[in-house]
Amino acid sequence: MRIDHDVWVRRFVLTIRCPDRTGIVAAVTGFIASHGGWVVEAAQHGDLTTGQFFQRIEVLAESLPFGPEDFGRLFADVASQFELEWHLSDTDVRKRVVVLVSREDHCLADLLHRWRSGDLACEIPAVISNHPDLRQLVEWHGIDFFHVPVMPENKVEAFAKVVSLVDAARADVLVLARYMQVLPADVCARYPGRIINIHHSFLPSFAGARPYRQAFERGVKLIGATCHYVTAALDAGPIIEQDTSRIDHGDSVEDLLRIGRDIERSVLARGLRWHLEDRVLLNGNRTVVFT
């Protein structure tokens, strides 16, 4: 078989988590090889602190004599023997992303550009916002925009509407692209490991309003951002990606805002891409990221 590197090649991506023990790699790769599967990428990690094993394998789809349905049936014996929690995705089936946003547009605009240019391999069927400000930007991209106001007196009804829109869009993942509302615990529990947030994260950390102003007033030398999964514990979910940038005494609040937004855009895009490519595996409140 010859791979043409100038064309898209369909692959199956197998991800695995299980109790660590001898023979897992041999059994999984042996199963693939026994059916003629061509592995084009593989990564693994054994966590000595939790005793868990993690693996990600990409296989050329055309090298196997069966599709995802038969894969599961034939793989069942290996999965049972090693107590595997496993998932197989097809790169020809793009994941569906619903974006939640408020008024700030820098992360949303960046994601829409990356999606439109093909840099992010996904579908974006809908954008939901608690403000109407970004409707024109979203609809210009041919994407449905839903305005769902969230007020103290209507939060239960508002988030019930958000959930109905997310489910109607058949979303695989939700992205909070500077969505300035705290998701209720029941919403977080409904989509475990499927809600991604971008959070301005400073060293030291500044909570509450106007974090860049607080950082400026404290004279920080590093600012940054954190991309993480959302849980009921506010801003405490498993971290996917982080980055920082060095600043100095000559930078103004406006400079910090500009630099911070750049970091937020890039960190969110990387975190989402890795999720879409099944490169992020949950390990308790931590993650294993095969980049």
Write the pLDDT tens digit of every residue in 4-24.
555 679 999 999 999 999 999
- Residue 48: burial class (beta carbons within 10 Å; 0-12, 13-18, 19+): exposed
- Please tell me the predicted confidence (pLDDT) of residue 203: 41
Residue 4 known to be catalytic: no
Which one of the listed residues 90, 235, 243, 255 is annotated catalytic? 235
- Phi, psi (rounded to 5 degrees) for 248: -145, -175
Beta bridge partners of 86: 16
String of DSSP letters for 203-263: SS---SS-HHHHHHHHT-SEEEEEEEE--SSTT-SPEEEEEEEE--TT--HHHHHHHHHHH
Q: What is the pLDDT along the chain (291 residues), one digit of tens a residue?
A: 555 555 679 999 999 999 999 999 999 999 999 999 999 999 999 999 999 999 999 999 999 999 999 999 999 999 999 999 999 999 999 999 999 999 999 999 999 999 999 999 999 999 999 999 999 999 999 999 999 999 999 999 999 999 999 999 999 999 999 999 999 999 999 999 999 999 887 545 776 778 888 888 888 888 899 999 999 988 889 999 999 999 999 999 999 999 999 999 999 999 999 999 999 999 999 999 999
Q: What is the pLDDT of residue 210?
A: 83
